[in-house]
Amino acid sequence: MKALEQRSRTTISIQLNGQARSGGCDNRTSLADFLRHELGATGTHVGCEHGVCGACTVRVDGSAVRACMMLAAQAEGSRIDTVEGLAQAAAGAPSSATAVVLDDLQQAFKRHHALQCGFCTAGILMSCSDFLQRRPDPSETDVREMLSGHLCRCTGYTNIVMAVLDVASSRQAQAPAEHEDNHA
């Protein structure tokens, strides 16, 4: 029984949404549990704990990952982005204020009513963010295929697809203007 009682704790150091963070955990702790319970990043939801539902999706070193399927120890030294990192503090707001500015994807989800209960939304937003970086001009079929890795029992996905396509279109429209500004 002593083998069961002796648990090895490890200190994990990561960049969480651009800030250096560290905490201790058991060697068998999932990244999702480490983020939620040790670092307070509770936007990372845990649903199935089998990598199927997508609620726990975060970006690890720029790639979407199911945090329930990764050990926290595997993230040592990595850059982890969670849904909390999508929104930015409002310019000029006092550091103690909770005012934030939603990023364009979050705004599109709001505008298109692309969420209901919200449990799956954080993981879907993180997957969509990753997807739009890799596929800036997706088709509706591309978006639906990407979303097939997520379970949402409320929305029926249509509004989520519309929100993602809206953001892709908006970013594409802004891209030529930004490109011209860089060469001016």
Model-level pTM greater than 0.75? yes
Residue 100 confidence (pLDDT): 80
Q: What does the pLDDT look like over 133-177, one tens digit per residue?
A: 999 999 999 999 999 999 988 878 999 999 999 999 999 998 776
63 with 131: CB under 8 angstroms? no
Residue 6 buriedness (CB in 10 A; 0-12 / 13-18 / 19+): exposed
Looking at the DSSP assignment, which residues form a beta bridge with residue 65?
A: 58
Residue 1 confidence (pLDDT): 46
Q: How far is CA 182 from CA 60, 132, 174, 175, 177, in A?
A: 29, 22, 12, 11, 9
Residue 154 sits in the same domain as residue 104: yes
Rounded to whole angstroms, the Cα distance separating 128 from 140 reads: 13
Structural domain includes residue 167: yes
Q: What does the pLDDT look like over 103-114, one tens digit per residue?
A: 999 999 999 999
Structural domain includes residue 180: no
Last residue of a domain, one of 42, 60, 85: 85
**With 80 as the cut, is the pLDDT of residue 4 above it?**
no
Residue 52 sits in the same domain as residue 118: no
Structural domain includes residue 1: no
Residue 48 confidence (pLDDT): 86
Q: How do 9-16 and 79-81 pair as beta strands?
A: parallel
Residue 113 sits in the same domain as residue 156: yes
Structural domain includes residue 183: no
Last residue of a domain, one of 35, 50, 85: 85
Lowest mean pLDDT segment, chosen from 7-11, 65-69, 163-167: 7-11
Residue 105 sits in the same domain as residue 156: yes
Q: What does the pLDDT look like over 17-43, one tens digit per residue?
A: 999 999 999 999 999 999 999 999 999
Contacts of 34 (CB under 8 A, 6+ apart): 12, 23, 25, 72, 75
**With 70 as the cut, is the pLDDT of residue 184 above it?**
no
Domain range for 23 is 7-85
Structural domain includes residue 148: yes
Structural domain includes residue 38: yes
Residue 67 confidence (pLDDT): 97
What is the pLDDT confidence band of residue 8, given thresholds at 50, 70 and 90?
Answer: confident
Count: domains in the chain: 2
23 with 60: CB under 8 angstroms? no
Structural domain includes residue 90: no
Residue 14 sits in the same domain as residue 79: yes
Rounded to whole angstroms, the Cα distance separating 1 from 9 reads: 18
Residue 176 confidence (pLDDT): 72
Residue 81 sits in the same domain as residue 109: no
